[in-house]
Chains A and B, each alone.
Chain A
Amino acid sequence: MTAKLSAPALRIVGLTKSFGASNALSDVSFDVGRGDVHALVGENGAGKSTLVKIITGILEPNAGRIELLGEPVRFATPVEARRAGVAAVYQDPKLFPHLDVAENISMGAAPVTAIGAVDRKAVVARARDSLARIGVGIDPHALIAELSVAELQFVEIARALTADLKLLILDEPTSSLTPAEAEKLFQIVHDLRDNGTSVIFISHRLEEVALIADAVTILRDGRHVLTRPAAELSQAEIVRTMVGRPLKGMFAERAKRKPGRELLRVDELTREGVFSNVSFSLRAGEIVGMAGLVGSGRSEIAQACFGLAPPTSGRVALDGVPVTPRSPKQMLGLGLAYLPEDRDGVGLIMPATIVSNITLPILRALARLGLIDEAAARRIATEAVETYRVRTTGVDQIVADLSGGNRQKVAFARWLSTRPKVLILDEPTHGVDVGSKAQIHEIIARLADDGLAILVISSDLPEVLGVSDRVLVISEGELVAELDPSAVNQETVMMAATRNVRDAAHAG
């Protein structure tokens, strides 16, 4: 451990941030030691990203302060933060695809020659130098559009190095890297630490945390739970602390019913390089949860069943009839509906009214001699708004003006207007307030009672365990466990989901 000569590299005191009524961060305080690799862990939505955005000056906190090496700081922009030696590397690259590596590294602060032109030689030399410092041999003349994800992250790190770097924040850097690339990244992080840079490392992969971190901070529901030396925390402990939220009273108890006939059967479904040999079935009246880390292939499996991205091999049967999913239109017609995670981007037409959103999939059925039966459309929409308790000023309200929870209810109504037999919900309560969340859970339960077979993909473990009759766990594209939610706890699910399949295979 580093000596506590003076102030910590970063001190966060009482940081609070709310978006509307919901608190993304409440009163978060912790220290990051000088020259430490500090892991920041928590479930999706625990407030990690918000915290990073506040530290780097993208968001402004409602309360609290930040000290860098004992000095109070408040950055107005990421550029200011960078100038002060604080840089973040995000999951999605913030680079210019049409420009080359060297130019990206110096953009905004390029050295100029006597006649005011950009000093190309100096720019290339600086890029070479920074890339060499982290030990990667990316060609400074390569275009950003030509690089792999890992290379992009290395370029971002190299860019950060051009300033006098005091704190580097890596936001889930390994989520899309291969093991070899991740290893390279760890080496860079170690080198940086040895040179006195502190690193905040956000990751879902707990083995990595154990491998690389000196200290661990756990956030839960926007609150700071603990900060401790990594050596004092076991993985199991981290998982327990991450998810440890009272479960009781959150989910309506559902009367146990005998599941009906098999409505969806998936056999050995494979999509090369994404998921492999996934088999499961859904019965009428059954709610099956699908857990797993973001990027484990959960959504891709669902999308393959829905005909969005055809599988390379395997079989799908709907209500006992074998089908080859080719297009969403075909699958909707056969009675399978999929509610995507990116509700606002894909699931809804934001600038349109509630009526047009809900009736869009059934316009053909509503048409009389080619004209839409406006009255019938409004009747259906009004009914749906009542059934799903959408809080709205009327069916003519624009969907973009609704809250997240209410938008989700409209999305439900929209897909249910096609009267599906099988419903796949991808993160149905992501970004939804607590009240609407409970209502959505109720709707899911009611639909199952009406005889639908429902697959709920969710990163929210209490939700998965609370609403499902069975839980499937996906890790690295494989179905690794099928669990009975009444018999297991969140840790069991998390352990199964974070087990690195490839590493396990390597180990024998």
Chain B
Amino acid sequence: MPVETEAPGEGDGTRRGLGQYALRFRVSGVAGFLVLLCVAFALLRPAFMTPGNLNAIISNAAILAIVAAAQAVVLITRNLDVSVGSIMGFSAYLTADFAARHPGVGLALLLMPLVIGGALGAINGLLVAYGRVSPLIATLGTLSIYRGLTYVYARGQEITSSRLPHWMNALPDMRFAGIPLLVLIAAALVCLLAAFLNFYALGRRMYAVGSNVSASAFFGLRTKRIVLFAYTLGGVLCGLAGFLYAARVGTVTVVLASGWELTSLAAAVIGGVSVAGGSGNVIGAALGAVVLATIDNGLVLLGIPEFWRMFVQGSAIVLAATADVIIAGQVRHSLRARRRLARP
């Protein structure tokens, strides 16, 4: 028997718990946290607030922001992709190798990482959506497969920047109105993606599938296709990110972007994307990337050994995920309470 609720039909009165506020205003929470972080570092080390340093932070965050957005796209559908780093590495290596063999290749080269990344993402999507393999296991497998193929293909060779097209080497230093081009690319991509997820039917359906997969069938949503699409889109973004990262580091090795699965997951979760699906957005994920880059930067300025970086990153994941569990728990609880009351 439910506790007496206010009679429906009387105004727009709906009750909101703390968890529900958190659900609605998560992104503002991350932004607020970022501001606090900056204030703290600025007070401790005045050098933090210099334009040069802030520029360094967002440059470092830019590529991670794209990968975090890719991770968020998959997380929103209540799935997971831990092969993002391997997709980046595979796409970057093949593209760089092609460019090295065909000097003089133009901007058309950019299509290559997108197609490769998309294909690798689609394989993940097929395994998860149609093969019904658990997302963690499937992408853990492809993490190893994609990286392994990169090793096999490369035979231990690295591709030095001297063999890459000139424009590719110049890319990381390009600026527009004083802002690094990489940052602008990342910002534009994240905004486009956010608009797609927020305003387009397919984007909304991705949230719906992540929110309640069993209801999706009643709404005629093609769940499997939607999940496949999410992985593919994520793959395309990782392919591009891999290419940009290769351009940035100059020398493309077989271990490029190893470990990014954890960093991207950390950024997305810190940015308020729920691992339980259905909530969060890519802008939050991108902000999460900026938070991680800010922490990195701050630790260096404070003279804290780099070894602490992993510790801080891991703690951030655990903290953010715990907050997430509490919020998701509230949502589930409200539904489960109803289901229990209404059991046949």
Contacts and interface: CB of A to CB of B under 8 A. Distances in A.
A175 B3 CA distance: 13
A184 B211 contact: no
B343 A294 contact: yes
Interface stretch (A113-121, A401-409, A439-447): A113-121
A180 B217 CA distance: 32
Contacts of B338: 92-93, 149, 152, 176
B12 A142 contact: yes
Given A97-B335, A98-B331, A108 B3 contact: no
B46 interface: no
Nearest to B12: A139
A90 to B, nearest CB: 8
Interface in A146-162: 146-152, 154
A108 B8 contact: no
Contact of A184 (B9, B212, B279, B339): B9
B178 interface: no
A91 B342 contact: yes
A99 interface: yes
Contacts of A92: 338-339, 342-343
A417 B31 CA distance: 56
Given A110-B204, A149-B342, A176 B9 contact: no
B8 A172 contact: no
B201 A118 contact: yes
Interface stretch (A30-38, A130-138, A229-237, A373-381): A130-138
B20 interface: yes
Contacts of A249: none
Interface in B13-69: 14-17, 20, 23-24
Which among A82, A107, A294, A476 has the highest number of chain B CB atoms within 10 Å? A107
Interface in B163-213: 199-201, 204-205, 207-208, 210-212
A120 B198 CA distance: 10
A148 B8 contact: yes
Nearest to A177: B2
B5 A97 contact: no
Contacts of B152: none
Contact of B8 (A103, A176, A184): A184
B10 interface: yes
Given A98-B279, A110-B204, A143-B20, A181 B331 contact: no
A145 B342 contact: no
Contacts of B5: 148, 150, 178, 181
Contact of B335 (A93, A108, A477): A93
B305 interface: no
B149 interface: no
Contact of B199 (A120, A135, A177, A477): A120
B107 interface: no
B14 A139 contact: yes
Contacts of B136: none
Interface in A68-99: 77-79, 82, 91-99
Size category, A interface:
35 or more
A177 B5 CA distance: 9
A477 B211 contact: no
A150 B8 contact: yes
Contact of A96 (B14, B20, B212, B217): B212
A44 interface: yes
A96 B215 contact: yes
A392 interface: no
Contacts, number: 152
A49 interface: yes
Given A78-B217, A112-B201, A297-B1, A97 B211 contact: yes
B14 A184 contact: no
A96 B205 CA distance: 10
A142 B15 CA distance: 9
A126 to B, nearest CB: 14
A143 B341 contact: no
B120 to A, nearest CB: 28
B77 to A, nearest CB: 12
Which among B10, B201, B214, B278 has the highest number of chain A CB atoms within 10 Å? B201
Contact of B9 (A108, A110, A135, A294): A135
A274 interface: yes
A103 B339 CA distance: 22
A244 B2 CA distance: 32
A99 B211 contact: yes
A77 B220 contact: yes
A64 interface: no
B307 interface: no
A176 B211 contact: no
Contact of B7 (A110, A145, A181): A181
Contacts of A175: 341-342
Given A92-B339, A138-B12, A150-B8, A107 B1 contact: no
A151 B207 contact: no
Contact of A148 (B2, B11, B204, B343): B2
B199 A117 contact: yes
B334 interface: yes
B94 to A, nearest CB: 33
A181 B210 CA distance: 30
B14 A138 contact: yes
A137 B24 contact: no
A181 B10 CA distance: 12
A294 B2 CA distance: 14
A20 interface: no
B341 A295 contact: yes
A370 interface: no
Nearest to A297: B1
B306 interface: no
Interface in B92-135: none
B342 A176 contact: yes
B217 A77 contact: yes
Contacts of A177: 2
5 contacts: A78-B218, A98-B23, A117-B200, A145-B334, A181-B5
Interface of B: 1-5, 7-12, 14-17, 20, 23-24, 199-201, 204-205, 207-208, 210-212, 214-215, 217-221, 278-279, 330-331, 334-335, 338-339, 341-344
Interface of A: 44, 49, 77-79, 82, 91-99, 103, 107-110, 112, 116-118, 120, 135-139, 142-143, 145-152, 154, 172, 175-178, 180-181, 184, 273-274, 294-295, 297, 476-477
Given A92-B343, A178-B4, A274-B1, 12 more contacts: A92-B342, A97-B334, A99-B211, A107-B205, A117-B199, A143-B23, A145-B335, A149-B2, A149-B338, A154-B8, A180-B7, A273-B1
State the 4 A-B residue pairs at the shortest beta-carbon distance, nearest first. A79-B220, A139-B12, A98-B278, A176-B341
